[in-house]
Amino acid sequence: TPYDYIVVGSGAGGLVVSDRLSEQGKSVILLEQGGPSTSMTGGTDTPPWADGTDLTRFDIPGEFQSMFGSSGQTYWFCKDITTFAGCLVGGGTSINGALYWYPTQDDFSTAHGWPSSWTNIDSYRQKLMQRLPSTDNPSSDGIRYLNQTMGVMQQLLTPLGFTHITINDNPEFKDHAYGYSAYNFQQGKRWGPVATYLQTASQRSNFRLEKYTVVTSVARNGSTVTGVQTNNTAIGPNGFIPLNPNGRVILSAGSFGTPRILFQSGIGPSDMISLVQQNAAAAAFLPPSSDFIDLPVGMNVQDNPSINLMFTHPSIDSYDNWANIWGDPRPADAAQYLASQTGVFASSSPRVNFWRALEGSDGNTRYIQGTVRPGFDSVTTDYSYNSSQVFSITMYLSTGTTSRGRIGLTSSSLGAGAITQPWFTDPVDKETLIQGLQEIINAAANVSGLTLITPDNTTTLSDYVDNYPSSSLGSNHWVGSCSIGKVVDENAKVMNTDNLFVVDASIVPSLVVGNPQGAIMAMAEMAIAKILALSGGP
Ligand code: 6FA
Ligand code: ABL
């Protein structure tokens, strides 16, 4: 069957788009390369302590750190991308830390690369807040659990002039502000677009979700897309899914997935298309070279540079560094969660967030975000320390970051990755982040009982940052690989095509001030309104 709209990828962008299209009566098929996640989507990956319930790894917020944990079998992460990304229903939103910030006006300003027709985010932010409200107190008994880091951060940040706020009540207040972490959890469970947008879409007979379906390319007749090529021969002859006359394809396959599909469709820089040409299976689906479209797909990429500081404080409970949450959780916490979906397991690991603006030596303002959580990834230190008292502050450089990298195919086997890393290509970014880190380290020295263990006293801060492993320097917040104004036009349509659109993190032209899923979903609300208003569609 042909469709009005084919949407590729069920992440933050794709779910908003699918719901709004099906709401307007369009026939929509949503193609997702992965399988189920939360129990609402058919997932059954339940921790042993929750056996016999429908509470999966993806539903239970407190299992978040288990995504990176010991079980080894991380099928939820994409295997065809060299960084962390979710390949299952919900995309990143089904496996992420669920930190959730309503976007700011500044996130969508022309100064940060948006066309002037996109700068009025407010009504789309409202639509998002209505469908998916945030909470900074995710346990429905009203108690904040495992909350010792707030006491320490209060002592550290107050002398620096920070104000304690409810962060999402004041989205624009991002300089010297801190507060409890906000999440898109509800009812003590992962919620996000899967529990909202996908549920309303799924109730409509004109919407269909097809899992385990990889889109490899779009088929086109010159500038007109006629359908998509997939690996799923059960749904169409040779895996081909056609569009209705005037139908449209919307790529929401993420910052790596969308460029890969474009390259395999003959859209992008010639070095990338030539890697596709070297892969016989993929080359067979390329259009004639006279139809190649040369666009800067994969260029202009950003991800927040981030550096962890590790501290101990006698008040902290590091929660056994989350080591036992899957196989052997603290019995009282497990029992409480099973009984009422409250307690420690009603939240992911972060507890406190803060922001401040800094001026770099180039005169540009850059924002720094801090995320504070009990526990740590790894500690390198000369000190002896009490591991049950460790917490981490991750410091991210956000809005105003100037460094850019490139996403592309890493070889003719068509894996995708960063072919130019996007962090610290501008030395002023590094210098500014170091300035922010130094401020926290200096202030920490005045908090009684607080000890910085990483970096230790044999390592200078600048050596620590200089030698930071590039595998840990990123933040999984990739944007920009199909930037608006460069690859897509102001209707999110791929330039020089008639009916091919992109709505996901890849069109966001520069880093937003917080973890990006809220901005991406508000962006998708605005994008789909523009696409529906554009003449010539189905
Ligand atoms: N963002 C936040 O705001 N808060 C967080 O706490 C947060 N944490 C994390 C995190 O802990 C991890 C480990 C990761 C990887 C990301 C985090 N993020 C966080 C970032 C956030 O999740 C992403 O920015 C956001 O999900 C990006 O939304 P997009 O719509 O651009 O893309 P997704 O990756 O969500 O979805 C793409 C979907 O397309 C996937 O389901 C994928 O399987 C599918 N897909 C890809 N290629 C495909 C193909 N060829 N055919 C079919 N489906 C395809
Ligand atoms: C985010 O936005 C980041 O993308 C994640 O990297 C981050 O989680 C979450 N939010 C929560 O702040 C961290 C984990 O806490 C670490 O244990 C893990 O090593 C890291 O992600 C991997 O990037």
> pLDDT tens digits for 31-46?
999 999 999 999 999 9
Closest CA to 232 of 414, 33, 37: 33
Tokens of 172: 């624009």
**71 has a pLDDT exceeding 80:** no
**251 has a pLDDT exceeding 80:** yes
Give me the half-sphere count of Cα atoms (radius 13 Å) on the Cβ side of residue 17. Answer: 35
β-pair partners for 28: 5, 207
- Residue 521's pLDDT is 99
Q: Which of 64, 67, 68 to mutate to test the pocket of ligand 2 (most atoms within 8 A of CB)?
A: 68
DSSP tag of 145: P
Closest CA to 402 of 432, 370, 382, 373: 432
Q: How far apart are CA 162 and CA 184, in angstroms?
A: 25
**205 has a pLDDT exceeding 90:** yes
Greatest alpha-carbon pair distance for the chain in Å reads 69
Strand duo 215-221 + 416-420: pairing:
unpaired
Q: How far apart are CA 364 and CA 479, in angstroms?
A: 20
**Percent over 90 (pLDDT), the chain:** 98
> Which member of 112, 164, 176, 477 is catalytic?
477
Task: Give the CA angle between residues 70, 73, 344 to the nearest 5°.
Answer: 50
What is the SS3 assignment for 406-472?
EEEECCCCCCEEEEECCCCCCHHHHHHHHHHHHHHHHHHCCCCCCEEEECCCCCCHHHHHHCCCHHH
Would you list the DSSP string of 260-318?
HHHHHTTBS-HHHHHHHHTSHHHHTTSPPGGG-B---TT-SBB---EEEEEEE-TT---
Q: What are phi and psi of 176, to 5 degrees?
A: 60, 45
Q: What is the pLDDT of residues 10-31, one digit of tens each?
A: 999 999 999 999 999 999 999 9
- Residue 69's pLDDT is 78
**444 has a pLDDT exceeding 90:** yes
Regarding the beta carbon of 196 and ligand 2, being less than 6 Å apart is answered: no
Q: Which of 216, 265, 515 to mutate to test the pocket of ligand 1 (most atoms within 8 A of CB)?
A: 515
Regarding the beta carbon of 475 and ligand 2, being less than 6 Å apart is answered: yes
Are 453 and 312 in contact by the 8 Å Cβ rule? The answer is yes
Mean pLDDT of 447-453: 98
Q: What are phi and psi of 214, to 5 degrees?
A: -95, 125
Mean pLDDT of 316-335: 97
Tokens of 170: 């004041």
Q: How far apart are CA 478 and CA 301, in angstroms?
A: 7
State the ligand closest to the CA atom of 472: 2
Q: Which of 77, 96, 392 to mutate to test the pocket of ligand 2 (most atoms within 8 A of CB)?
A: 96
Task: Give the CA angle between residues 391, 179, 360 to the nearest 5°.
Answer: 80
Q: What are phi and psi of 483, to 5 degrees?
A: -50, 140
Q: Where residue 236 falls among pLDDT bands split at 50, 70, 90?
A: confident
What is the position in ligand 2's atom list of the atom closest to the CA of 516? 2
Sequence letter at residue 421: Q
Regarding the beta carbon of 212 and ligand 1, being less than 6 Å apart is answered: no
Closest CA to ligand 1's atom 40? 91
Regarding the beta carbon of 506 and ligand 2, being less than 6 Å apart is answered: no
Q: What predicted TM-score, i.e. pTM, was given to this entire model?
A: 0.98
For 19-47, b where at least 16 C-beta lie within 10 A, e where not — what string? bbbbbeebbbbbbbbbbbbbbbbebebbb
Element (H, E) at 12: helix 12-23
For residue 351, report the distance from its CA to the centre of ligand 2, in Å. 13
Regarding the beta carbon of 253 and ligand 1, being less than 6 Å apart is answered: yes
Q: How far apart are CA 123 and CA 522, in angstroms?
A: 9
Q: Tell me if residue 477 is catalytic.
A: yes
Tokens of 300: 């202009």
Question: CB-based contacts of 356: which residues, under 8 Å, 6+ apart?
Answer: 160, 162, 175, 176, 177, 367, 368, 436
Q: What is the pLDDT of residues 353-405, one digit of tens each?
A: 999 999 999 999 999 999 999 999 988 899 999 999 999 999 999 999 999 99
State the ligand closest to the CA atom of 185: 1
* Residue corresponding to tokens 């993806």: 58
β-pair partners for 356: 368
User: Is 183 in a helix, a strand, or coil?
Assistant: strand
Gyration radius of the chain over CA positions: 23
For residue 417, report the distance from its CA to the centre of ligand 2, in Å. 18
Mean pLDDT of 495-523: 98
> Is there a cis peptide before residue 296, judged by omega within 30 degrees of 0?
no
- Residue 104's pLDDT is 98
For residue 93, report the distance from its CA to the centre of ligand 1, in Å. 6
Element (H, E) at 125: helix 122-131
Would you list the DSSP string of 101-118?
-PPPTGGG-GGGT--GGG
Ranking 68-77, 279-288, 402-411 by mean pLDDT, the lowest is: 68-77
For residue 159, report the distance from its CA to the centre of ligand 2, in Å. 28
Q: What is the dihedral of CA 257, 262, 266, 268, to 10 degrees?
A: -100
For residue 257, report the distance from its CA to the centre of ligand 1, in Å. 10
- Residue 286's pLDDT is 98
Closest CA to 28 of 64, 1, 68, 62: 1
Mean pLDDT of 317-325: 97
- Residue 379's pLDDT is 87
Are 437 and 309 in contact by the 8 Å Cβ rule? The answer is yes
Mean pLDDT of 228-257: 96
Which CA distances in Å does 357 have to 8, 366, 483? 37, 6, 25
- Residue 215's pLDDT is 98
- Residue 72's pLDDT is 61
Regarding the beta carbon of 392 and ligand 2, being less than 6 Å apart is answered: no
